[in-house]
Amino acid sequence: MNSTTLLAVIVAGLIALAYSATSSAQTEVTFESSRAFQQEWTRGITGKGVANWEVVSEDSAPSKHLVLRQSGEATYCWAVRKGVSLSDGYAEVKIKPVAGKEDQAGGIVFRFQDENNYYVVRANALEDNVVLYKTVNGKRSSLPVKGRMFGYGVDVDVPQNKWSTLRVDFEGKLFIVTFQGKELFQVEDDTITDPGSVGVWTKADSNTLYDDFKSARK
């Protein structure tokens, strides 16, 4: 191998290494700019209704003083990051349910294909449980917990008007749900395998705050 060829191989290797490091690097959004949110996130609904996503001031914000709030009312409301497409990775967010008569839920969408096809894991302060669902052609259905024949997610204290941390790791057909830093349950499903965006989600009349949204590929 001559020196020119060797140099080309080294350069190619460095580029590949840099790309790998960039693609796997964690990104974090603290919602400190309303303009950045408007430019970098796509918002919408599944079903009927109107979403109202906005960056607002919040004294209890985990990071600085601004957070993301969803205060509209729809079947399901979602906001996903533009330019992010993950097949295997993780997403994590802090949630604070503050109001809602029908629901007080906050969740994470992943492998988001479009408004009618994605996975979502959500914590509900009225039901005190965490459940992982798939949404296919606009229809949402819960996924069974691995190793259990029956049941609906996992019961756990989801506090109202307090911040909690929800996380999902997804690789292949295995999804691992973590709440408040502890693994809660696992789910296996291969309905949606293509890479997709990640983001946040609410249901019905949930008025929910979000902060410190993190994600990375594996």
CA distances from 196 to 26, 105, 114, 121, 153 (A): 16, 22, 9, 15, 23
Give the separation between CA 170 and CA 187, rounded to whole angstroms. 9
Could you tell me which CATH number the domain at 27-217 has? 2.60.120.560
Amino acid (1-letter code) at residue 42: T
The predicted-structure confidence for 115-168, as pLDDT tens digits, reads as follows 999 999 999 999 999 999 999 999 999 999 999 877 789 999 999 999 999 999
Q: Where are the domains of the chain?
A: 27-217
Q: What is the mean pLDDT of residues 46-67?
A: 96
- Give residue 24's pLDDT band: very low, low, confident or very high (50, 70, 90): low
Tell me the pLDDT tens digit for each residue of 164-195.
999 999 999 999 999 999 999 999 999 999 99
| pLDDT computed for residue 9 by the predictor | 37
